[in-house]
Structure 1
Amino acid sequence: MAETRFLPRRSAKLVAGLVITVGIVLFAVVAPFFVQDPRFSGNDAFLPPSADHLLGTTKLGYDVLAQLAHGARGSLVVGLVAAAIAIVLSLIFGIFAGYAGGWTDEVLTMVTNIMLVIPGLPLVMVIAVYLQNRSLWLVAFILGITGWAGSAVVLRSQARSLRSRDYVEASQVAGERTVWILLVEILPNLLPLLAAQFLFAVVFAILGEAGLSFIGLGPNGSITWGTMITDAYGGNAMSAGAWWWFVPPGLLIAVFGAGLSLVNFSIDEVVNPKLRVVSEATDRRRAPEVAAPEAAPAAPVEPAEPAEPKAEVTA
């Protein structure tokens, strides 16, 4: 009987991804309590990293480390909120459409396909242009409602496959309600896939917020990694050689995305049967081989004595 795995097996990329992700999350949660006010403007502008300012200062004298810590919190809020909204919408339009079938499936699938064919970034830009007061939560909401369609397509196909399973049909025969079947029978089997889709949505939202901030459509009055890069570009940090202003936020975006991607790859080995087979085969090759017992040496074969020639019989 084959063993079904719901958690990714421990591997080097999973450990590395968790260390990176948890480390940055802890930095975003804890560091803001130990740094100065990110809006405190000193007299020293464009100071390089030193003992007083570990990551230097900006054009206005802001401490880069303080802005980086508060920006990490802002970027994570955008990523988590947008991902949660996207996952909820993908569940509604994906799982319910795949299980219900009929005209319900056709209507929900039509809405999903419309959202798929509309380019995501231009749609977000159009919505953001008409909203003058863009808070951190509003930007996260915009990114969430425009980034769910791809996950819904994947969840719909999985739900269509699961609805024909024996335990689902048994629940239908028993008269269980549709909501109960979706939550108890179908949803638990999609948890690894949902986790992978959630991590992807977090990365997409953080990158989307950085892109919106770079073109001037980011959150107003909030500090994120994206707004830091935008301020550095507007403050001519490159021309002034102030690499410490724009490199740290860009590097943290890249490292955090890489960490989530490593965790996502590990989860994908559980979700994707082909990758799971490859991973199990790799583990078997790396396992120590059990040495077979040595066979006793064969006794040397003595050469046979030549047969005596037979005497010829003369008639």
Structure 2
Amino acid sequence: MKRLFSLVKAFWNLFPGIKGKLGFSIILVFVIIAIFGSSIAPYKKNNIAFESWLAPSGKHWLGTDSYGQDVLSQMIYGTQTSLLVGIVAGFITTVIGILVGLVAGYKGGWIGGGLMRIVDLFLIIPTLALMIILASFLPSMGVMSTILIIGLLSWLYMARSIRSQTMSERESGYVEAARMAGMSDIEIMFREIMPNIIPVILANLVLVTTQAVLAEAGLSFLGLGDPTAVSWGTILSLAHANNAIMFNAWWWLLPPGLAIAGLCFGFILIGNGILDRYQSTRGNAAL
């Protein structure tokens, strides 16, 4: 437990501004709900033992849906899936974006140009539409399939951002000194340049994680997610399919939408906090 508190404190201290701290607090709440969801949820997942369309009450804080399931319990279990997809898909996206961006920005020439033309080619196609097409052709859509589809198709803008920053850094004196010291291109890219663009990488990481959460919700809402998993997107999809609006069942529609917005807002605040700290550091260095 001490290590856990130390880790939380270390992350808290990363963000000196109010925006970063607020964003971290929001994400921490969702992470706690995801980790301890099975213990926090008042009822078991997919429990249909209750009456349908019950309004919020002391027994069911967010009412029940048309299947007789407790909406609050479904929301808590959905946090686990939505957060897992967002974090893992965001990590995959970040790895690919860093590799492509660093190589394209540092090497330049036909290698960098070729990589950017590939990026430009994929940018012509709407990412969500491409995800829908790929999901439609897969024999089954599990959580891992969703993660891979989102992660492998969301790195394009991140690669361009990191390429631009790398092109700026490769002209710096420390890079020239590393070349004269006999360091290889790989060593220069990952040991010299990458540590100096960590704030840009982190800012992009929270952005792509936000996009992954939204993409998962979009795919699940369209019925292309994992049918066996509970996520905020599937809750919205079922509410729409069962005409929750006609039954005035706002408690089935609003909570998943607000949860998606809240999680994304938390990540955006963290990204803004990172950029504020980066700009402040650069400004102090310039002085």
TM-score, length of structure 2 as denominator length:
0.89
The aligned runs of 1:26-175 (5 Å cut-off) are 26-35=32-41, 36-175=43-182
**Residue 177 (1) aligns with residue 184 (2):** yes
CA spacing shift, 1:9–1:225, aligned 2, 3 Å: closer
| Structure 1 counterpart SS, 2:245 | helix
Shift of 1:134: 0.4
| Structure 1 counterpart SS, 2:63 | coil
Q: Deviations over 1:73-106 (max 9, x none)?
A: 1001110111111111111111111111222112
State the partner residue of 2:17.
Answer: 11
**Residue 248 (1) aligns with residue 255 (2):** yes
Shift of 1:211: 1.2
User: Which stretches in structure 1 are left out of the alignment for 5+ residues?
Assistant: 1-6, 281-315
State the partner residue of 1:201.
Answer: 208
User: Which stretches in structure 2 are left out of the alignment for 5+ residues?
Assistant: 1-12
The 2-side partners of 1:11 and 1:189 are apart by 21
Shift of 1:148: 0.6
The 2-side partners of 1:221 and 1:232 are apart by 16
The 2-side partners of 1:10 and 1:102 are apart by 40
Shift of 1:276: 7.1
- Answer 1 or 2: higher relative contact order, Cα 8 Å, separation at least 6: 2
Q: Is the 8 A contact 1:8 1:269 kept in 2?
A: no
Q: Sequence identity, in percent?
A: 35
Letter in 1 for 2:18: A
State the partner residue of 1:230.
Answer: 237
Range with bigger deviation, 10-19 or 178-187: 10-19
The aligned runs of 1:271-286 (5 Å cut-off) are 271-272=278-279
CA spacing shift, 1:60–1:212, aligned 2, 3 Å: same
Letter in 2 for 1:10: P
| Structure 2 counterpart SS, 1:237 | coil
Bigger helix share:
2
TM-score, length of structure 1 as denominator length:
0.81
Letter in 1 for 2:62: L
Equivalent residue in structure 2 for 1:217, among 209, 217, 224: 224
The 2-side partners of 1:186 and 1:179 are apart by 10
State the partner residue of 1:24.
Answer: 30
Letter in 2 for 1:29: I
| Structure 1 counterpart SS, 2:197 | helix
Range with bigger deviation, 132-141 or 30-39: 30-39
| Structure 1 counterpart SS, 2:80 | helix
The 2-side partners of 1:94 and 1:161 are apart by 12
The 2-side partners of 1:262 and 1:81 are apart by 20
Q: Deviations over 1:199-234 (max 9, x none)?
A: 111111111111112222122211110000001111
Q: Deviations over 1:45-96 (max 9, x none)?
A: 1112222222211111111111111100100111011111111111111111
The 2-side partners of 1:8 and 1:34 are apart by 29
CA spacing shift, 1:52–1:139, aligned 2, 3 Å: same
The 1-side partners of 2:258 and 2:172 are apart by 46
Q: Between Structure 1 and Structure 2, how many residues are aligned?
A: 271
**Residue 191 (1) aligns with residue 184 (2):** no
Q: Is the 8 A contact 1:68 1:249 kept in 2?
A: yes
The 2-side partners of 1:153 and 1:126 are apart by 24
Shift of 1:9: 5.4
